[in-house]
């Protein structure tokens, strides 16, 4: 807005003053003026003649005309936004009823730019590893690492009340990683000082102020990497020891070797790895003897197998080795018992099979056939495996159907439930499928009814209402005809801004899952104190899926809402009665107090009315 001066004239009636002083008073500035932020000036009402007016004049000296000059508070305040730091002259002229100048007051405004301070934001201080103490130690908050993002924030002094934008710059050795309003992340490849500057502007691009500073990067990347490697090495070595204690020898050696590569100068890790490798060599040799013994045992070379087991126990003893040796010694005698054991396992598997416990049956059939081969048992195991595949397919289809139903894709859910029942009949799922079919049918019928309503409204040329019905039809159930009508009508008009489209739940149509979603939303409203809105959703849920407990809860909540509304209405009547009483309209006030008691009982009002009756007797 470019002009030499800005003048606004507003008649401000002051009929309540019989006479006023015409002496000028200083113009009041609410807050110090800053560039880019609105400045508000005001005058005392006592300076305005009865029936007179105030005329404001705002003129720049050498700078730009202030932006957004306006009057407020019935002309008692003048507001504008300085665009630079040049002085601004403000004059308030007081005119009488005829428009004649009675007095005036003027002041000079010297806008200042905002001071902008920048500071490093430390979310988490750096930590280094003390290899001697085997613990972390925290660096001072001022320690910043090279080649890592450093967050910097800018703040106004004093606070800026608008929505500023910021422009950040750095020196050539420093890169800006990301910017987010008053925050910027920078990164410097080596240690040293990074120069950072920022300039702020208001929403109209007016410069608010600027600030700059230096950020001292003190920790080289190599120091942090070496510390990190030593820390990881020690932690890996401790995990390797735990693995060794738990007999996970291979994993332990692998992890200990990695620890050694990360910190080759650590003597404790180096010596520990040497001992671990010696013991691991013994373990692997004994393990090979045991594996050979198992192969010999399969070939029924029991003497050789026994020799290997005894040698392995000398090299690397195991708790279960004596038992295995004893077992090997008994192989010959056990051979006679094999058939009997196989029969017992087969009978156990058959019992599980008869009870439809297929996985357990497979397990025992496999144990039996491992002892004595049988084509009949192998054939039965194949049939059970196929049956388990069908059950797995049924479970998968049912699970996918549940997910689709939660997403509101009822037709797809119905298809998956049907596929599940075909793979594995289930009475409970069949009942749910019938309920879902009923919901789908009701939605289709309701969608068709809404579409017909839309057609009837369209024939009567009530196009806005017709468009709403078509949208509701699609909301309830996908309807291609309604989609086409929506496309046709939407070319020339949209939905009414206040239109509230109804969905399936508004017609009491939905699944139990739909009802649970509505109940969850109602619970959130109730938790936030929005009882009436919560009650409305609880009732919607009850229409979809009746629930005695929820019905009782909704009834109790209704009483609470009713009580709260009565209290609110009574308080409103009491407030009106108070106003009448203060205005001296005692009779009307007392009558309204009595009416409030009919709305909701109030012991204080009853006592007040009783006292009034005693006073008037």
Domain with residue 14: its CATH number is 2.60.40
Does the pLDDT at position 582 exceed 60?
A: yes
* 38 and 102 housed in the same domain: yes
Q: DSSP 3-state assignment of 594?
A: helix
Across the range 121-144, mean pLDDT stands at 86
* 28 and 82 housed in the same domain: yes
Structure tokens at 391: 């059950």
Does the pLDDT at position 194 exceed 60?
A: yes
Residue 407 lies in a domain: no
- What pLDDT sits at residue 458? 80
CA distance 28 to 107: 9
Average pLDDT, the chain: 83
Q: DSSP 3-state assignment of 323?
A: helix
* 20 and 73 housed in the same domain: yes
* 506 and 552 housed in the same domain: no
* 119 and 169 housed in the same domain: yes
Residue 270 lies in a domain: yes
CA neighbours closer than 13 Å in the CB half-sphere of residue 116: 26
Residue 539 lies in a domain: no
Question: Could you tell me the pLDDT band of residue 22, with boundaries at 50, 70 and 90?
Answer: very low
Shortest CA distance to 37 belongs to which of 57, 67, 78? 67
**Count of the separate structural domains present in the chain:** 5
Residue 124 lies in a domain: yes
Q: Which residues pair with 94 in a beta bridge?
A: 54, 103
Q: For residue range 499-510, what is the model confidence (pLDDT) as tens digits?
A: 677 767 777 677
Q: For residue range 337-389, what is the model confidence (pLDDT) as tens digits?
A: 776 787 888 888 888 878 878 888 888 888 888 887 888 888 888 888 887 88
Per the model's pLDDT, the better-predicted residue between 534 and 298 turns out to be: 298
Domain boundary residue, one of 316, 331, 346: 331
Does the pLDDT at position 328 exceed 70?
A: yes
CATH of the domain at 212: 2.60.40.1080
What domain range is 14 assigned to? Answer: 6-109
The answer to whether the predicted template modeling score (pTM) of the entire model surpasses 0.85 is no
- What pLDDT sits at residue 243? 94
Domain boundary residue, one of 282, 312, 331: 331
- What pLDDT sits at residue 117? 95
* 212 and 245 housed in the same domain: no
Of all residues in the chain, what percent carry a pLDDT higher than 70? Answer: 93
Q: For residue range 412-455, what is the model confidence (pLDDT) as tens digits?
A: 888 888 888 887 888 888 888 888 888 888 888 888 888 888 88
Residue 374 lies in a domain: no
Provide the terminal-to-terminal Cα distance of the chain, rounded to the nearest Å: 71
- What pLDDT sits at residue 497? 67
Judge whether 82 and 109 are in contact, CB under 8 Å. yes
Picking from 223-232, 322-331, 445-454, 511-520, which range would have the lowest pLDDT averaged per residue?
511-520
CA distance 388 to 548: 40
Judge whether 69 and 8 are in contact, CB under 8 Å. yes
Residue 187 lies in a domain: yes
How many C-beta neighbours within 10 Å does residue 411 have?
13
Residue 365 lies in a domain: no
Residue 524 lies in a domain: no
Beta strands in 14-149 (DSSP E): 28-29, 39-42, 53-60, 67-72, 77-81, 88-95, 101-109, 115-121, 127-130, 135-138
Domain boundary residue, one of 331, 348, 374: 331
């Amino acid at each position: 807005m470019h002009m030499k001066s800005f003048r606004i004239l507003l008649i401000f009636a002051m009929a309540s003053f019989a006479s006023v002083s015409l002496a000028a008073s200083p113009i009041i500035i609410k807050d110090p003026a800053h560039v880019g932020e609105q400045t508000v000036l005001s005058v005392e009402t006592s300076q305005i003649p009865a029936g007179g007016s105030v005329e404001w004049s705002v003129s720049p000296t050498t700078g730009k005309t202030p932006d957004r000059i306006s009057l407020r508070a019935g002309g008692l305040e003048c507001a504008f936004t300085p665009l630079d730091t040049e002085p601004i002259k403000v004059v308030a002229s007081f005119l009488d009823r005829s428009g004649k100048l009675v007095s005036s007051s003027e002041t000079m405004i010297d806008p200042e730019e905002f001071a902008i301070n920048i500071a490093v934001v430390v979310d988490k201080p750096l930590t280094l590893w003390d290899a001697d103490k085997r613990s972390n130690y925290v660096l001072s908050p001022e320690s910043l690492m090279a080649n890592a993002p450093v967050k910097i924030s800018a703040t106004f002094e004093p606070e800026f009340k608008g929505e500023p934008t910021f422009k950040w710059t750095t020196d050539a050795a420093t890169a800006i990683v990301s910017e987010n309003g008053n925050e910027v992340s920078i990164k410097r490849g080596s240690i040293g000082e990074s120069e950072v500057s920022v300039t702020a502007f208001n929403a109209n691009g007016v410069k608010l102020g600027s600030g700059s500073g230096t950020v001292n990067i003190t920790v080289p990347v190599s120091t942090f990497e070496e510390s990190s490697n030593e820390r990881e090495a020690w932690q890996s070595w401790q995990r390797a020891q735990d693995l060794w204690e738990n007999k996970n020898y291979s994993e332990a050696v692998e992890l200990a070797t990695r620890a050694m590569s990360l910190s080759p100068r650590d003597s404790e890790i180096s010596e520990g790895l040497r001992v671990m490798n010696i013991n691991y060599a013994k373990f692997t040799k004994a393990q090979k003897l045991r594996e050979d013994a198992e192969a010999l045992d399969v070939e029924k070379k029991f003497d050789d197998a026994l020799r290997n087991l005894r040698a392995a126990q000398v090299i690397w003893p195991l708790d279960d080795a004596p038992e295995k040796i004893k077992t090997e010694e008994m192989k010959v005698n056990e051979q006679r018992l094999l058939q009997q054991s196989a029969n017992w396992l087969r009978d156990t598997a058959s019992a599980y099979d008869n009870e439809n416990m297929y996985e357990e049956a497979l397990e025992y059939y496999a144990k039996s056939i491992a002892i004595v081969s049988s084509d009949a048992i192998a054939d039965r195991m194949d049939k059970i495996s196929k049956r388990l595949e069908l059950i797995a397919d049924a479970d998968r289809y049912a699970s996918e159907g549940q997910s689709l139903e939660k997403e509101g894709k009822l037709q797809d859910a119905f298809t998956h439930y049907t596929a599940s029942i075909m793979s594995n009949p289930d009475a409970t799922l069949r009942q749910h499928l019938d309920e879902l079919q009923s919901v789908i049918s009701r939605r289709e019928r309701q969608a068709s009814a809404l579409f017909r309503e839309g057609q009837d409204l369209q024939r009567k040329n009530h196009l806005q209402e017709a468009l709403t019905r078509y949208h509701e039809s699609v909301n309830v159930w996908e309807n291609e005809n309604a989609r086409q009508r929506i496309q046709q009508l939407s070319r020339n008009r949209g939905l009414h801004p206040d239109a509230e489209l109804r969905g399936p739940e508004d017609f009491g149509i939905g699944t139990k899952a739909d009802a649970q979603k509505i109940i969850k939303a109602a619970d959130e409203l109730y938790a936030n104190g929005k009882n009436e809105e919560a009650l409305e959703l609880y009732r919607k849920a009850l229409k979809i899926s009746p629930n005695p407990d929820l019905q009782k809860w909704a009834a109790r909540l209704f009483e609470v809402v009713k009580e709260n509304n009565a209290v609110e209405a009574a308080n409103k009547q009491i407030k009106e009665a108070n106003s009448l009483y203060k205005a001296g309209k005692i009779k009307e006030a007392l009558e309204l107090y009595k009416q409030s008691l009919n709305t909701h009982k109030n012991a204080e009002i009853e006592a007040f009315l009783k006292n009034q009756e005693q006073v008037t007797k």
